[in-house]
Chains A and B, each alone.
Chain A
Amino acid sequence: MTWWARDSLRWRAPVFIAAVIIVVVGTFLGVAFREVEASLTEAAGARAQWATDQVAGLLAQSTQQRLGELHRVAAHAAVRACLLHPTDDTREAARRQLATLTNPNPQIIELWNHAGERVLSLAVPPGAEHALPAGSMPSAAGIGRFQTYRDTLFTEAVTTVDSDVTADDREPRTSSGFVVVRRPLVASPIGDALNRLVGNGASVKVGNKGGGVWTDLSKAVEAPPVELSRAGATAYRTANGERRVGALAAINGTPWAVWVEFSLSTVLAPARSSLDRMIASAVGVVLVAGGFVYLMTARITTPLFQLTQASEAMAGGEYSRRVTVSRRDELGRLAVAFNAMSERVEHAHRELEERVRQRTAGLEAATHELEAHAAELVAVNQELEAFSYSVSHDLRAPLRHIGGFATLLAESASASLNAEGHRLLKTIVGAATQMGRLIDDLLAFSRVGRTQLDRSEVSLGDLVRDVQREIMIGINGQAIVWRLNDLPAVDGDRSLLRIVFVNLLSNAVKYSSTRAPAEVEIGTVPGGAAETVVFVRDNGVGFDRQYAHKLFGVFQRLHTSEEFEGTGIGLANVRRIVHRHGGRVWAESELGRGAAFYVALPAGRPSC
């Protein structure tokens, strides 16, 4: 592990602390900003409402003023006279009177009687009638809604002309007609004044209550995005995402409403910049805290890292590694303990190595000794081989000669020999033959002990069937009942195991030759998984149990060769072969009641 690894405490602690600070401060800042934003928005709404109410008051006042002036002009006798008696003179007088309506904007002034006739129409200045429509008979006095005519916004103000009151006051005052004044809306300084009043970035709109034509006092605009019949403050978001707050108020005495709105961002800007400053200081806090924690952890992890490195070096076999002790706290004590431990480990390791060296030396000496013994054994074995070769060759030759010449003598001196002479010669030949057989058996026995085991998987079933067939060829006339049960496969030398079963089966046949029929059974004894136990059972003469230990000796026989022929080497071979396979062999019998021979072979491969 290296100190810059991602998993190192040196990084994980500062990063964890910084993450905690970021989460806490971030949450706090987020909540605080929301609160500030909400209260600022509310304050902005209140401000917008206040501004709207102010503007509505101003507009109501100015409208009342206009109506008042109109009423005063309409009350003049010349106007009434013109309505009652419309002649050129009265018209002229009324025109002069009506022209006193002061206004910098163009206007059309009309006089209507109750019969619905337009008595007088006056355009100030002349030509203004082209920009404004001709009116119709008004129904009631007051200020009218905003209307448009050929892209021109205009409003209408109507006042009644009272009938003259007779001197005696006999008739009630009634209206004798209307004065209608139509004025287009032109850019007026009132918009700028209002904007100045509500503040920077604010805009004012005036329009009809309940929808229709709306204006910013210079041109037609869209109505505010709120329900236009209800006064109050509203915050909304424009199509391009800007947040704005506005308020609506009705203008008394008119069918109009006024709307003042401004962008929230202007309002929230101070809160935003204060949030930015707070975030900047929070980042500073995080960095400082992280750095501080890093330094603190480093003070702990540096010695730990050195200890880890030393431990890893030790695990890698570098037992002489020590760490420097420079502190008195727990880490210092840990370093001291580590040094003590590594010293002991180094000591133990050295001791162990020394011991291993000694043992190895001892083993080498023993190996040399063993090799010497093995060489000796090889030499002895070679000597034995040479001996058995000379036995086979040199001992058999004189025997052959004895037998051969005795036979030749029996033939050539046949006439001069009497019966006793013939018997003696025959005995000589028989004895030589017997000795030849003994030599052959002895050589075969020594070969069984000498040859290397050639191991493979041997199917005992196939092997026993094969041996049984071979034996049956050499049998003449003997009735034998064979019972061959299933036999497993074992690991062993096929040709040597064949010798085992040739001996056991031919013995079984030989020693039960006096039975009719002879019965021979071969099978396995159920037992442990460690070994395979095969039995060969016959119903022959059997043997006396007290001589059982002699059965497997070389040239040991329990019967004379007159009873059953043989040299007594077969079972000795059997035992030698089975022992070389790491197995056991034993026999059970009762005299005259058959015999059973058992061969136990290890299931696994023995180490010999």
Chain B
Amino acid sequence: MLTPIRTILLAEDNINDIELTIAALRSNNVANEVVVVRDGAAALDYLYRRSAFASRSPEPPGLLLLDLKMPKVDGLEVLQQIKGDRALRTIPIVVLTSSREESDLVRTYGLGVNAYVVKPVVFNEFMDAVKALGQFWAVVNEPPPVVKE
């Protein structure tokens, strides 16, 4: 049975990082649709199908790539909200951190993140990491079934 190709939600405020991440995904032949949101509030809107995303298809994203440092609502708050919601907490989340300092932060909060990736300065390393992530979470791994409310 063919796994339906699910959406990847990328929550990232920096336009350069967005471009580099998408480039990395594309060059690794990750064909999933990538929806980009620029802050935590928009990410939550998407997940809860509110305001701008009210009319999107009810299928949840197959993967959430979440930056920590974002305007309005930051990545940790988004993480907290998702993991506290029965309908959403099965969505795989990979936290993208800028430094090891930040990865310490994630570990300290212990919010049940599925993985975290320190964005490497060397782009090739980043590409490798994104490639592994995209393939693992969006293609190979069977996402958990949609929880009907």
Contacts and interface: CB of A to CB of B under 8 A. Distances in A.
Interface of A: 388-389, 392-393, 396-397, 399-401, 403-408, 411, 429, 432-433, 435-437, 439-440, 443-444, 447
B69 A403 contact: no
A397 B100 contact: no
A401 B98 CA distance: 12
Counting contact residues on chain B (CB < 8 A from A), the size range is 10 to 19
A12 B95 CA distance: 93
Given A393-B69, A401-B20, A407 B124 contact: yes
A440 B100 contact: yes
A444 B99 CA distance: 11
Contacts of A400: 16-17, 20, 98, 119-121, 123, 126
Contacts of A403: 121-123
Given A389-B102, A392-B102, A447-B101, 20 more contacts: A389-B101, A392-B98, A392-B99, A392-B101, A393-B69, A393-B101, A396-B98, A397-B16, A397-B17, A397-B98, A400-B98, A400-B126, A404-B123, A406-B123, A429-B122, A436-B121, A436-B122, A439-B99, A440-B99, A440-B100
Given A400-B119, A433-B122, A405 B98 contact: no
A407 B100 contact: no
15 contacts: A392-B99, A392-B100, A392-B101, A392-B102, A393-B98, A393-B102, A397-B16, A404-B16, A405-B16, A408-B20, A429-B123, A436-B121, A437-B121, A443-B99, A443-B101
B14 interface: yes
Contacts of A411: 27
Contacts of B122: 403, 429, 433, 436
Nearest to A430: B122
A393 B121 CA distance: 11
A408 B21 CA distance: 11
B23 interface: yes
A397 B119 CA distance: 9
Contacts of A432: 121
Interface string B103-119: 00000000000000001
A435 B121 CA distance: 9
A184 B53 CA distance: 165
Central interface residue in B16, B102, B126, by most chain A CB within 10 Å: B16
Contacts, number: 69
Contacts of A388: 101
- Which 6 residue pairs spanning A and B have beta carbons closest together? A436-B121, A392-B99, A407-B123, A404-B123, A401-B16, A404-B20
Contacts of B123: 400, 403-404, 406-408, 429
Q: Is the interface of A mostly helix, strand, loop or mixed?
A: helix
A33 to B, nearest CB: 105
A388 B102 CA distance: 11
B56 to A, nearest CB: 30
A404 B101 CA distance: 21
A404 B20 CA distance: 7
Contact of A396 (B16, B27, B99): B99
A403 B100 CA distance: 19
A389 B20 CA distance: 23
Interface string B20-44: 1001000100000000000000000
B98 to A, nearest CB: 4
Contacts of B121: 396, 399-400, 403, 432-433, 435-437
Contact of B126 (A393, A404, A444): A404
Central interface residue in B17, B27, B98, by most chain A CB within 10 Å: B98
Contact of B100 (A399, A433, A435, A443): A443
A399 B123 CA distance: 10
A437 B119 CA distance: 13
A400 B119 CA distance: 8
A435 B16 CA distance: 19
Contacts of A440: 99-100
Contacts of B100: 392, 440, 443-444
A397 B69 CA distance: 11
Contacts of A393: 69, 98-99, 101-102
Contacts of B17: 397, 400-401
Nearest to B121: A436
Nearest to B68: A393
Contacts of B27: 411
A439 B99 CA distance: 10
A437 B102 CA distance: 16
A389 B101 CA distance: 7
A259 B101 CA distance: 133
A286 B17 CA distance: 116
Nearest to B127: A407
A607 to B, nearest CB: 28
Central interface residue in A393, A429, A435, A444, by most chain B CB within 10 Å: A393
Central interface residue in A400, A437, A443, by most chain B CB within 10 Å: A400
A395 to B, nearest CB: 9
B75 to A, nearest CB: 12
A436 B121 CA distance: 6
Given A393-B69, A397-B14, A403-B123, A408 B23 contact: yes
Contacts of B101: 388-389, 392-393, 443, 447
